[in-house]
Amino acid sequence: MDEKQKALFDACMRQADYFAGRWDCRKMYEWKTTIAIWALLAGGIYVKKPRSLTVELELAAVMLVLLIGYIRFWLIPVWNANNWEKQAGRFYRDQADSIMRGAERIAPLEEAWTVPPGRQAASFWRDWSMLFQMLSVLMLGAIYFIVPGGSK
C-alpha cells in the first residue's frame, strides 16, 4: 500500500468512525427519551384518579394524538437519521476494505444505498427497535385505561 492509498484508507476509516459515533450517540438519546416516556406513562398509571367516561374518552383521544406524534415526529426521523449514518458508515468501512485490497479510489457515496440482489431495503416498519418502542408505549397507554383509578 503506497502513501496515497494509506491516506485514502485512513480518511475512509475516520469517516466510518465518525458516522458510527453519531449513530451510537443518537441511539443513546433515543432510548433515554423512550425510557422517560415509559416512566411518565407508568407514573400516570400509578397516580390515576377515577374520571367520568367523557374525560376518559377525551384523554384517550389526546393519548392517541400524542402516540401518532411520537411516531411521526420522533421515531421516524430518528430512524431515518440512524439508517443514513449506518449506511454511510458501512459504505466507508467497505471502501477502506477495498483500498486494503488494492483499489485506487473509492466509489461514489450514492452506492451506499444500492440494495444487493436478494436483499430487502431497510424499513422503519421492519426495525425491531422501533416496533418495540412503539408497541411498548401503546401497551402502557392501553394499561392506563385498563387499570382502575383509586378511590374518589
In tens, the pLDDT along 3-31 reads: 989 999 999 999 999 999 999 999 999 99
- pLDDT value at residue 20: 95
- Which DSSP helix (H) or strand (E) runs through 34? helix 3-46
Nearest to residue 79, comparing CAs of 34, 123, 137? 123
Under a CB-based contact definition with an 8 Å cutoff, are residues 145 and 43 in contact? no
Mean pLDDT, all residues of the chain = 90
Mean pLDDT of 125-143: 94
CA distances from residue 61 to 71, 72, 102 in whole angstroms, order as listed: 15, 16, 60
At residue 152, does pLDDT exceed 60? no
Task: State what percent of residues in the chain have pLDDT above 90.
Answer: 67
- pLDDT value at residue 90: 92
Mean pLDDT of 80-100: 93
Q: Distance from CA of residue 101 to its chain's centroid?
A: 33
At residue 69, does pLDDT exceed 70? yes
DSSP string, 54-92: HHHHHHHHHHHHHHHHHIIIIIHHHHHHHHHHHHHHHHH
- pLDDT value at residue 110: 82
At residue 108, does pLDDT exceed 90? no
pTM of this prediction? 0.83
Q: Is pLDDT larger for residue 151 or for residue 77?
A: 77
Under a CB-based contact definition with an 8 Å cutoff, are residues 85 and 16 in contact? no
